[in-house]
Structure 1
Amino acid sequence: MLKSLNILLILVSALAIRSLSQLPEGFVYVTDYIPNITLELRYFCSDNFVGTHIDGYEADKCILSLPATLALQKVQTELKKKNLGIKVFDAYRPQRAVDHFRRWARDLSDTLMKQEYYPNVAKKDLFRLEYIATKSRHSSGSTVDITLIDLETKKELDMGSTYDFFGKISWVAYQDLTKEQLHNRKLLQQAMLQNGFRNYPQEWWHFTLRGEPYKNQYFDFPIW
């Protein structure tokens, strides 16, 4: 009897784990399609503008809609010809993570990461300047934050600012950069725009698939 009960508990646990790890229809793990892609998912750790692990990021995994993943696969293939590759900072983002950002932005006393990520912007202005919002395209599953890396050294190309830096230096149209930085940004923009993505003018790293399948749908399943 006890043995049968133990077997039943194991089966229930296995089914629960499988259920938690199963993605909604239309979503995939990016590494299943692009196994050589580099991940540095900032909201899974504390190296981000909040300074702590973000709600909903329960695993170091990258999730996108299938169409966005296939488009990104084309980008990676083309970049490899130039000995370059993609590094992903963020992809699908649960709504609960966006809610975490919103709570953080309203706590004006928490400025732990100000000098690194928003030294010239008052925290009270983050909503007004649209650095923080109540909804994110990321939660629709076809938006990705990326940079380029050298495939030999694995080092990031110099883009003139760090990822998630809140300021005009991060704008796509910003020109007060070195020739190398401007060239690197142009490489990134061309690779993404020519393969079905559109950019976000205030963030050089942010791209959304044109014709995204779940536009204006905001998912909240956790990243497992």
Structure 2
Amino acid sequence: MAYGVAPGGMDMRFGPRWGLACAALLLIAGCAQNMGATAPQKVTAAAPARAAADLVPLATLAPGVRQDMRYASSHNFMGRPVAGYEAGVCWLSRAAAQSLAEVQQELAGDGLALKVYDCYRPQTAVNDFVRWGRDLADQKNKDMYYPRVPKNELFKRGYIAEKSGHSRGSTVDMTLVAVDAERASKRVRGPLADGVEVDMGTPFDLFDEQSHTDNPQQSPDVQHNRRWLRALMQRHGWKNLPEEWWHYTQVGEPYPEQYFDMPVKKN
């Protein structure tokens, strides 16, 4: 209880009548406080069990979306599988997965497909990123992923953080793949081949200003492709992170303040 005095905590030197009066006053104050709290309490976090039930494998709703789950492999800036990824499977909130299914349906008519690199990311994985970021001796993949950024500045520049929107279940890292290059050429630009990713100018997870969606140093074809993807996703209710052309979060995501930590599994 937040009100009153714990049993046995009353100073009985003032006698039983005074004690009863104090107890009555405290009871009245407590009731008044409760009566005044008429506004509903803001819910800041979803119940983990409910969210766990709501996360679904993307393939069940959008089998046409390609998956290249980098953090379940060694093909990432750490050079090894990341803690929390027990399988290379994209999991998302049901709302996000359904929305991507609609995006994929639209793309199919244009000879294109989505490819996702990361989806739901457990907090355990984020913690692994943080440990790696603080280990300044481990720079084996610097040339590939952060050639122009000192590792001791990755936190300051926002490339590594202790929380990630991915842990809320409605953020994805993605690109486009040409399924039918001839049809795709009517929507996106640059060299196209069936089954090959569309040119976005930089690889996924390059920690560099070149990865900023509107970086003016990119070629006209790349700028067009990034903006075309962004416009597509905006039509379906997604917002791009300006510092990463591949990073999208669903507007109105169902768990905006909850960071989950269930491991990524096959099912």
Could you state the TM-score of these two structures normalised by the residue count of structure 1? 0.88
Unaligned runs of 5+ in 2: 1-50, 181-193
Where 1:77 maps in the other structure, the secondary structure is helix
Note the C-alpha offset of 1:26: 1.3
Task: Provide the residue aligned with 1:128 in structure 2.
Answer: 156
Q: Which residue of 2 aligns with 1:167?
A: 208
Q: Number of aligned pairs?
A: 202
Larger CA deviation: 46-55 vs 180-189: 180-189
What does residue range 15-94 of structure 1 map to in structure 2 within 5 Å? Answer: 24-94=52-122
Q: Deviations over 1:55-87 (max 9, x none)?
A: 011012110001111111111111111101100
Specify the structure having the higher radius of gyration (Cα): 2
Cα distance in 2, alignment partners of residues 74 and 32 from structure 1? 13
CA distance in 2, matches of 1:182, 1:151: 21
8 Å Cα contact 2:213/2:227 also seen in 1: no
CA distance in 2, matches of 1:110, 1:24: 34
Deviation of residue 189 (structure 1)?
A: 0.6
State the alpha-carbon separation in 1 of the partners of residues 109 and 228 from structure 2: 13
State the percentage of identical aligned residues. 44
Distance apart, 1:97 and its partner CA = 0.2
Measured against aligned partners, the alpha-carbon deviations of 1:71-111 in whole angstroms (never above 9, x if no partner) come to 11111111111101100000000000000000000000000
**2:233 counterpart residue number:** 192
Residues 40 and 87 of structure 1 are in contact (CA less than 8 Å); yes or no, is this contact kept in structure 2? yes
**Contact 1:79–1:191 (Cα < 8 Å) also in 2:** no
CA distance in 2, matches of 1:105, 1:31: 32
Q: Give, in angstroms, the shift of residue 190 of structure 1.
A: 1.0
1:35-66 Cα deviation digits (max 9, x unpaired): 12110000000000111100011012110001
Q: Secondary structure of 2:136's partner?
A: coil
State the superposition RMSD in angstroms.
0.9
Q: Are the equivalent residues in 1 in contact too, given 2:145–2:207 (CA < 8 A)?
A: yes
Q: In the TM superposition, what are the counterparts of 1:93-172 in structure 2 within 5 Å? A: 93-152=121-180, 153-172=194-213
- In structure 1, the gaps of 5 or more residues are 1-22
